[in-house]
Amino acid sequence: MNFLETVFCGVTLKNPVVAASGAYGFGRDYTDFYALEALGGISCKGTTFAPRLGNPPPRIAETAAGILNSVGLQNPGAAHFIEYDLPWLRAQNTVIIANAAGSSVEDYVENVALLAAADVDMIELNISCPNVKEGGVAFGTSCASVEKIVSAVKKVCPKPLMVKLSPNVTNIVPIAQAAEAAGADALSLINTLTGMKIDVAHRRPILHNNTGGLSGAAVLPIAVRMVWEVRRATQLPIMGMGGVTQWQNAAELILAGANAIQMGTAIFADPYAPLKVIYGLAEWVEREGCNNISELSGQVRPW
């Protein structure tokens, strides 16, 4: 019985556990631990059309139950990714998602056209990065700009287009609906929440960027709430993420309405965390008497 196989907007994932963008780089560092084919998929590091150095250090700060990062989309650019990283990734026998970012509508369109023409399975459109001065989250926080960018990108994207939403909004529902109306094939949520940490002795923010994006265990309840809200407002497949460290957290996102999940920050502390979640989910599905995990998606029973 294949308890975990999941068809996500036409793409078959052998299980619904995907490495989150930014946590796994382009995958190579993790082959010392296990074969990447164990994963349902890999969402690659956010890729821009032109290479980017990212923000100056310090770029990571630990917090009580997660991390703040202000990496700022450091990446080698789409052409380099396609030439040097993608052929290797492709040989890993897992689903490959390109995570596309940009600084203007034209820049996003040019980037997605290039990435979607390459041998990737899906595009994740990052309109929710809080750590870059131009673009990023600015595109993901108003319905008008979400519609503008998603409809422009969709025209050049023959692959499934998954739009990654920001939690840094008062109400995520109209943003999700705007993405759906503009042609998104799927949604992923949540990106990081803007936060700040101060070195009291020096009266200085720890991060050179002053603020950063909070991820890890601390954000799980927010992610679960947002997936639940979005599930009731759209028909689109949802990849839920934010703070998954163990299978029970993934199960919460699935019960709230996610069809698959991603894991990021937890992998830094334990590279094996995704494998433990995969085993835990399979046992959960069997215990619940289901044939497949899809039967549990959205099955929370609200009071």
Per DSSP, the residues of the chain read --SS-EEETTEEESSSEEEPTTTSTTSGGGGGTS-GGGSSEEEPPPB-SS-B--PPSP-EEEETTEEEE-----B--HHHIIIIIHHHHHTTSSEEEEEE--SSHHHHHHHHHHHHHSS-SEEEEE---TT-SSSGGGGTSSHHHHHHHHHHHHTT--S-EEEEPPS-SS-HHHHHHHHHHTT-SEEEE--PEEEE-EETTTTEESSTTSEEEEESGGGHHHHHHHHHHHHTT--S-EEEESS--SHHHHHHHHHHT-SEEEE-HHHHH-TTHHHHHHHHHHHHHHHTT-SSGGGGTT-----
Count interface residues toward ligand FMN (CB under 6 A): 27
**72 in contact with ligand FMN (CB under 6 A):** no
Establish if 241 lies at the interface with ligand FMN (CB under 6 A).
Answer: yes
- Of 85-93, 199-207, 260-268, 295-303: span binding ligand FMN (CB under 6 A): 260-268
Q: Please state the closest distance from residue 45 (CB atom) to ligand FMN, in A.
A: 5
Q: Considering beta carbons, is residue 195 or 242 the nearer one to ligand FMN? A: 242
Q: Residues 91-130: x/- map of binding to ligand FMN (CB under 6 A)?
A: --------x--------------------------x--x-
Contact call for residue 154 and ligand FMN (CB under 6 A): no
The tokens for 90 are: 């492709």
Rounded CA Rg of the chain = 18
Among the listed ranges 25-33, 231-239, 262-270, 293-301, the one in contact with ligand FMN (CB under 6 A) is: 262-270
Give yes or no: 44 in active site. no
Stretch that binds ligand FMN, among 4-12, 135-143, 198-206, 214-222 (CB under 6 A): 214-222
Q: Which residue is nearest to ligand FMN (CB)?
A: 22
Q: Does 69 bind ligand FMN (CB under 6 A)?
A: yes
| 209: contact with ligand FMN by CB under 6 A | no
Instruction: Give the x-and-dash track for 2-31 against ligand FMN (CB under 6 A).
Output: ------------------xxxx--------
Q: Catalytic site residues?
A: 129
Contacts with ligand FMN by CB under 6 A lie at 20-23, 45-46, 67, 69, 71, 73, 99, 126, 129, 164, 191-192, 215-216, 219, 241-244, 263-266
